[in-house]
Amino acid sequence: MRIIISGGGTGGHIYPAVTIAREAAKLADNCEILFVGTKHGLEADIIPKEGFSFATIEVRGLERRLSWQNVRTLFTTVGSVWNSAQIIKNFRPDVVIGTGGYVCGPVLLAASLLKIPTIIQEQNVIPGITNKILSRFVDKIALGYQDAAVYFTKCRPEQIVVTGNPIRPEVMSAKREEGLTELGLAPDKLTVLVVGGSRGARSINKAMSGVYNYFSGNSQIQILHVTGQSEYNSMVGNSKQSGIELSSAGNIIIKPYLYNMPLALAAADLAIFRAGAVGLAELTARGIPAILIPYPFAAENHQEFNARALEKQGAAVVIIDKELTDSKLIDTIKRLLGNPEVLSSMAKKSKELGCPQAAETIARLALSLKKP
């Protein structure tokens, strides 16, 4: 079995691709996999680390308005469809899978023109523009949320399958004790895991400075904060300036990025997250209560829709980005951690929403498309 898989830009498109690829490799004999991404997306860092072959194409994202930039993008896209077709002809895949992000547009389009079976996976309640366009060409569309189906009404019903969002198997298998030890966390404290999506979140980082101040040295609560690569140094610097020496506070660990996120999730008693669909799939698969602060500029505000779906079920508390302040965040953390019954009810509701088998379902669907 030979598979090309493409998805990129952010972790929310890349990890689903990695997970589906791994699952397909488990299920099919002699599975050969090639990833196609761009040189500039996070995938160029993550995919080689994950041990997969990696090819790149030049491609740009469309702006959501009429502009000269879009005209230039269309020309680049024609070139990238051509380059994708060359990659596909050389690799000769049985199926091509796309997990979103503009890079998979030309790849899946070229595959469809070459009559190779295709499947896309849409993670969000409101689909991305690339997947909306591709839905007219591909054989199957695997949805993370049932609610997304209304955006694909022009598709044939048999094209659409609601599968949930794929999560890495390590997210389920990671053990709390191992997570605590690996990340240098204390076993007798409640752990708050703070992650602003795969690229970090400025407004969450800003509010966290106040949270550090308040909880620094606390004997019951510890914080593991992932700042994103670009703001890590300034977060460390700002904390020093405001008199908090993170290395001696004893209960605050900050990291630019976590390559071992499943261990961090295993150690978490409460999460403070943006509302990227894959992050949410991981939280619900493990049943972790959460404070969600959706990224307000995500296309069509889709993160808020993702977050509200958890809030509606009692699995999360939502704070809107423009209402986020240090004190609001501190009060919400105190209210939840100080109330074990509320926390465990949220954990239960969260777990009910989890879909840990999604990756296997999607991989089986992809494999079933292979022509005899």
Ligand X SMILES: CC(=O)N[C@H]1[C@@H](OP(=O)(O)OP(=O)(O)OC[C@H]2O[C@@H](n3ccc(=O)[nH]c3=O)[C@H](O)[C@@H]2O)O[C@H](CO)[C@@H](O)[C@@H]1O
List residues binding ligand X (CB under 6 A).
Answer: 10-13, 15, 100, 123-124, 195, 197-199, 226, 257-258, 261, 276-279, 282, 295, 298, 302-303, 306
Shortest distance, position 134 Cβ to ligand X, whole Å = 14
Q: Which amino acid does the sequence have at 105?
A: G
What element of type H or E holds 85? helix 68-91
Strand boundaries in the chain, DSSP class E: 2-6, 32-37, 53-56, 95-98, 118-122, 140-143, 160-162, 190-195, 221-226, 252-255, 270-273, 290-292, 316-318
Match 């051509």 to its residue by tokens. Answer: 82
Judge whether 325 is annotated as a binding position: no
Instruction: Name the closest residue to ligand X (Cβ).
Output: 12
Between 115 and 322, CB nearer to ligand X: 322
Q: What is the CA radius of gyration of the chain?
A: 21
Between 116 and 279, CB nearer to ligand X: 279
Between 117 and 279, CB nearer to ligand X: 279
Burial class (CB in 10 A: 0-12, 13-18, 19+), 210: middle
Judge whether 30 is annotated as a binding position: no
Judge whether 344 is annotated as a binding position: no
Shortest distance, position 229 Cβ to ligand X, whole Å = 9
Between 263 and 333, CB nearer to ligand X: 263
User: What are 114's two structure tokens?
Assistant: 């070459």
Judge whether 234 is annotated as a binding position: no
Between 56 and 165, CB nearer to ligand X: 165
CB atoms within 10 A of CB 114: 15
The Cα 32–Cα 70 span in angstroms is: 35
Between 187 and 296, CB nearer to ligand X: 296
Shortest distance, position 69 Cβ to ligand X, whole Å = 19
Match 């990291």 to its residue by tokens. Answer: 255
Judge whether 198 is annotated as a binding position: yes
Shortest distance, position 345 Cβ to ligand X, whole Å = 24
Judge whether 176 is annotated as a binding position: no
Judge whether 123 is annotated as a binding position: no
Q: Which amino acid does the sequence have at 209?
A: S
What element of type H or E holds 328? helix 326-337
Shortest distance, position 173 Cβ to ligand X, whole Å = 15
List residues forming the annotated binding site for UDP-N-acetyl-alpha-D-glucosamine. 10-12, 124, 168, 198, 303
List residues forming the annotated binding site. 10-12, 124, 168, 198, 303
